[in-house]
Amino acid sequence: MWDGIGDFLAMGGYAPYVWGAFGMVALGLLLEGLLLARRRRQVRARLQRQSRRRSAAAAHNQGE
């Protein structure tokens, strides 16, 4: 259907519109995924620290 990669990228003369639209959607979804993954790591790390502190305190209390 397309006459080579150049023809595909040109999108029948609508390249800025088509790629601008698809590019922003890709960027938006990528950014959402990355931000969510970072927040997930942070929350899990915080809970893991709390749980370690709690079990350390429990072990300490048992020792006394």
Partner 1 sequence: MKGRSIPWLKFTAPASFYALAQRLVPWLWPAAALCAIAGLYMGFFVAPPDHQQGDAYRILFIHVPTAWMGMLLYLLLAVYGAIFLVWRIKMADIMARAIAPTGALMTFLSLWTGALWGAPTWGTFWVWDARLTSTLILLFLFLGYMALHAASDDREKGGRAASLLAIVGAVNVPIIYFSVEWWYNLHQGVSVMRSDGPSMADSMVAALLLMIAAFWIYAGAVVLRRAQVEALSREPRTEWAQAAAVGRLTRDQRQRAAADTALDQQPLGPEGEA
Residue closer to partner 1 by CB (options 20, 56) is: 20
Q: How far is the C-alpha of 14 from the C-alpha of 39, rounded, in Å?
A: 38
Residue 9 · residue 15 · CB < 8 Å: yes
Chain contacts with partner 1 (rule: CB under 8 A):
1-2, 8, 11-14, 16-18, 20-22, 24-25, 28-29, 32-33, 36, 39-40, 43-48, 50-51, 54
Cβ 40 to partner 1 shortest distance, Å:
5
Residue 50 · residue 57 · CB < 8 Å: no
Cβ 56 to partner 1 shortest distance, Å:
13
